[in-house]
Amino acid sequence: MRATASGQTLVVFALVLALFFAGMLGLVADLGALFVAYNRVDDGVLLATQADASAIDEGSFYTGTLQLDVAAARQRCEDSLAAARLDGRCAADARTVSADVRQDVALPVPLLGIRAPVHVSRSAQPAFGGGTAVTTS
């Protein structure tokens, strides 16, 4: 009886190892796709907040204060998100801007049809090249 089962352990071990490596390959593919999707969303949101924060109200700037043009800031943010083909929310007030994007990512090796959520939120403040605003007379 022992002679007929001499290679059975090796065959079972090889099958288990093959299934393990197939599962790891699927996991690596899913994590790689998720990493790429997160970086794409993060880059788009970062560019949107930078565009948003550059909408400085020139009238307030030359009077010695630094404020955002709220309507222009929100429009720049929305335009930037649209150019990156991202659906998100932009908010702005006189001192801060923010962009928030949530996206579901289809994985290359879906498990039970599950999609992975990616959420990125960024905020910024207006900035310019000097330490204080220059007043003109």
Q: Please provide the distance, in angstroms rounded to a whole number, between the alpha carbons at the two ends of the chain.
A: 104
Give the count of alpha carbons within 13 A of 12, CB side only: 5
Non-local (6+) Cβ contacts of 85 within 8 A are none
pTM: 0.75
pLDDT digits (tens, 9 = 90+) for 56-71: 888 887 777 788 888 9
pLDDT digits (tens, 9 = 90+) for 13-52: 999 999 999 989 988 988 999 999 999 999 999 999 988 8
User: Long-range contacts for 81-86 (Cβ within 8 Å, ≥24 apart)?
Assistant: 81/44, 81/45, 81/48, 84/40, 84/43, 84/44, 84/47, 84/48, 86/41, 86/44, 86/45, 86/48
Where do the domains of the chain lie?
10-124
The residue among 79, 99, 104 whose CA lies nearest residue 89 is 99
